[in-house]
Amino acid sequence: MLDNSFLSVTLQIGKKRVDVNLKSLIKGGISFFLPADCLICGKSLEPLNRSFICEYCWGKVKWLTPPYCSICGRPLPSEYNCSDNSSFLCGECQVRPPYFKKAFIPTLYQGVMKEAIKLFKYKGKMGISRGLTKITRIYLDHSRFSLPELNLVIPIPLHRRKLKERGFNQAEIIAKFIAEYLNLNLVRDGLIRVRFTNSQTQLKREERLTNIKGAFKVKKGERFKRKRVLLVDDVYTTGVTLNEAAKEIKKTKAEVYVFALARTP
């Protein structure tokens, strides 16, 4: 049996000397080249596909297409579909318009997209973020002319207890991509989750409202004064989380826009 010291080599990289363990390098290399299966349909993935999902399945993602509410993106019945979609508002936004000006949402939270986000968020399949950021990029390219001139990107934060559990904030990964792609400032600590809230997924709208109230605080709000802020989350369900966060940011006299990867139909 060879011991580990025998398998270690020292490489000279520039002025730096790095010890490399050949055993772990070979192991890592092999798993890198082994084809894996699509986590949705089970077919083997192309060797260079590191997103855990095959191109065919990614192709089945349902994009959010008109007619939808011009503020919150809620899909509207097809009779609203005429040449100008820009002025339609859903009943909810007519009665109680949200604190944000407009939500930008590429897809519907169903089928492949729902599975992909769940695998990314709850199973820690980080490679899926490659597919999710690709969808974001396609959407941003497509809607570049309808986007307002933004200044800052702020992710919806997780409570530190949840962040510790999960190890990453999915909203921050998306927000970071958008900030880089649109050349905007990412403000990671713009919002703080001051209250631990139980998962919203099983709650009704009214319960969600009570559950989320007072959950966020703005940090150094003077940074946002008269700025256009893009608030980013992974999923738009009832919008109460994004709206509560938008309410806090708006207090700093900022104008708030919202981005979510997917919206419940």
* Residues found near Zn ion in the complex (CB under 5 A): 38, 40-41, 54, 57, 69, 71-72, 74, 90, 93
Nearer to Zn ion, 54 or 242 (CB): 54
Phi/psi for 27 (5° steps) reads -60, -50
Residue 260 structure tokens? 């979510």
| Distance in Å, CB of 26 to Zn ion, minimum | 29
**Closest CB to Zn ion among residues 38, 64:** 38
Q: Are strands 228-236 and 255-263 parallel, antiparallel or unpaired?
A: parallel
- Shortest separation between residue 250's beta carbon and Zn ion, angstroms: 17
Question: Which is closer to Zn ion, CB of 72 or CB of 212?
Answer: 72
Tell me the closest approach of the beta carbon of residue 80 to Zn ion, in angstroms.
12
CB of 10 to Zn ion, least distance (A): 43
| Smallest separation, CB 29 to Zn ion (Å) | 25
> Closest CB to Zn ion among 13 and 95?
95
Q: Whole-number minimum distance, CB 63 to Zn ion, in Å? A: 18
Question: For Zn ion, which is the closer residue by CB, 39 or 229?
Answer: 39
Task: Please identify, using beta-carbon distances, which residue of 218 and 242 lies nearer to Zn ion.
Answer: 242
Contact between 107 and 113 under an 8 Å Cβ cutoff? The reply is yes
Smallest gap from residue 128 Cβ to Zn ion (A): 12
Cβ contacts of 45 within 8 Å, gap of 6 or more: 35, 36, 37, 38, 52, 53, 54
Residue (55 or 180) nearer to Zn ion, CB: 55
b vs e for 47-64, b when ≥16 Cβ sit within 10 Å of the residue's Cβ? eebebbbbeebbeebbeb
